[in-house]
A = this chain, B = another copy of it.
Amino acid sequence: MSALFSKPLSVLNVGIGSFADAIVKRGGAASSLEWAPPANGDRQAGMALARLVNDPKIEKANDEAAERYLAAQPQLEGIGIAREALPRMGERMILHAGPPIEWKRMCGPMRGAIVGAILYEGWATDAESARAMAEGGDIQFDPCHHHAAVGPMSGIISPSMPVWIVANPAHGNRAFSNLNEGLGKVLRFGANSPEVLERLRWMEKTLAPTLRAGLEFLKDLELKPLMAQALHMGDEVHNRNVAASSLLIKRLVPALLKSSASAAEAAAVIEFIAGNDHFFLNISMAACKAMLDAAQDVRGSSMVTAMARNGVEFGIRVSGLGERWFTAPAPVVNGLYFPAYTIKDAAPDLGDSAITETAGVGGFAMAAAPAIVKFVGGSSQDALANTLAMTHITLRRNGAFTLPALDFAGTPACIDARRVVDTGILPVINTGIAHKEPGIGQIGAGVTRAPLACFTQAVAALEASLP
């Protein structure tokens, strides 16, 4: 011991930093290793984790799930109407974002959007009776995710709405999403004024049929190469879709001009799409959903297959745990607010769009999109750091989605719930922020994190599910 202290000490301090402070104060040198106990010190979760980490069956199941995700080849198959395209869509059913939630617990924007959908469907003729109808139990509410669908923000899909159909022939599954309405007063932020309903009707009567006619000349557009190209053009295909939307237009326009659509219809449709840099978002989400649903239901797998928010709760699903949701309160996002708004105006985190992060893009691919920091905050170094941090909680790099700024490394993908609990590194999500009152719309954007509690519950459930 005295021999040890007679030499200069090389001290590595693990965990609580103040232990090293004492050494430094007395003139010594110490390096600090950032470390925290798994599951934030939750003993039960830590024990469950220890058993899962050492189980080769889980590694094998995760290999299977990850390979199914990597093998997915999402294609834009077409546009349908929700009532016909979604296999289990009910006649008086409205789908919403996030995990299940009943009317009385829903956030403002989601309620506003549901009132709008009821008016749009013609089930009621004024907002008051629409609200009464929603309250009275006449409408069946279901998460989009229960129908292989996803929707941004409140994520409302009602039976008459057009939906993108994305097929994944590699696994034989399909995924769906609604069509992007643009910014400003739009249903997904809870607006339901006549202009909003008018636009939804135009989308149903003109936009969708015109696009459908064009898509016949653009057979099964492969979405992974398009998303990959957009990642090389500064998009992360969640909150930045300007390149992907432009690339889509470049493919769509010649197809539209060959189709039966009239010049006036084609012009109106192209002008609508060209005016909305987020138009591709919903297609990106459906593509991500198609890739991840392929990885669902691998017994024993701890791979996360969905992260979604309903504006009250944040929920995740895990491949080996079927249709169960693991939820925690949705965080309010401390992001960049538009002028005149603050965090006090914000609804908690909302929307199915975190399916992009679940699939290794969005916040996970932020290194591809340094320009997005002007929108979500931080510096271009933070963008690189966020992507790199996600490598610690993921099973794979997705070689189909490469990141030029990281010398073409693949995006970190396939979140392992075990690693999230073990490291305490929480999945990063680039997100838009909705006003808590319906209809005001987007008031900011920011970078947020999935709550740890979702993952500790999932780890405990996975451990309990094993023989």
> Which residues of the other chain, B, contact A253 by a CB distance below 8 angstroms?
249, 253, 270, 274
Q: Determine the chain B residues whose CB is within 8 A of the CB of A254 once the complex forms.
A: 267, 270-271, 274
Residues of B within 8 A of A250 (CB): 246, 249, 274
Within 8 A of B (CB), among A338-390: 370-371, 373-374, 379-381
- Cβ of A233 under 8 Å from chain B: yes
For residue A370, which residues in chain B have a CB less than 8 angstroms away from its CB? 404-405
> Is A61 on the interface with B (CB-CB < 8 A)?
no
CB pair B371 A404 closer than 8 Å: yes
A88 to chain B, nearest CB (A): 38
Contacts of A270 in B (CB 8 A): 253-254, 257
Q: Mark A246-261, 1 if CB is under 8 A from B, else 0.
A: 1101110110011000
Q: Is A266 an interface residue (CB 8 A)?
A: yes
Task: Say whether A35 faces chain B, with CB atoms less than 8 Å apart.
Answer: no
* Chain B residues whose CB sits within 8 angstroms of the CB of A138 once the complex forms: none
A407 proximal to B (CB < 8 A): yes
Q: Is the CB of A405 within 8 A of B405?
A: yes
A383–B183 Cα distance when bound, in Å, is: 35
Question: Contact partner of A267 among B235, B258, B267, B404, CB < 8 A?
Answer: B258
Complex interface: chain B residues within 8 A of A19 (CB): none
What's the Cα separation between A4 and B263 when bound, in Å?
86
Q: Which residue of chain B lies nearest to A235 when distances are taken between CB atoms in the complex?
A: B233
The answer to whether A243 has its CB under 8 Å from any CB of chain B is: yes
Tell me, in angstroms, the Cα distance from A258 to B404 when the chains sit together: 38
In this assembly, does A199 line the interface, its C-beta being within 8 Å of a C-beta of chain B? no
A233, A251, A406 pick with most chain B CB within 10 angstroms: A233
A408 within 8 A of B: yes
Q: How far, in angstroms, from A247 to B249 measured CA to CA in the complex?
A: 10
CB proximity of A235 to chain B, nearest CB, Å:
8
Q: Determine which of B242, B246, B266, B373 lies in contact with A404 in the assembled complex, contact meaning CB atoms within 8 Å.
A: B373
CB pairs A–B below 8 angstroms (27 shown): A232-B371, A233-B233, A233-B234, A233-B242, A233-B243, A234-B234, A246-B247, A246-B249, A246-B250, A250-B274, A251-B274, A253-B253, A254-B274, A257-B263, A257-B267, A258-B267, A370-B404, A370-B405, A371-B404, A373-B404, A374-B404, A374-B408, A379-B407, A380-B405, A380-B407, A381-B407, A405-B405
Give chain B residues whose Cβ lies under 8 Å from the Cβ of A232: 234, 371
- Tell me the smallest distance from the CB of A196 to a CB of chain B, in Å: 23
Q: Mark A226-250, 1 if CB is under 8 A from B, else 0.
A: 0001001111000000110011011
Q: How far is the CA of A269 from the CA of B289 in the complex (A)?
A: 36
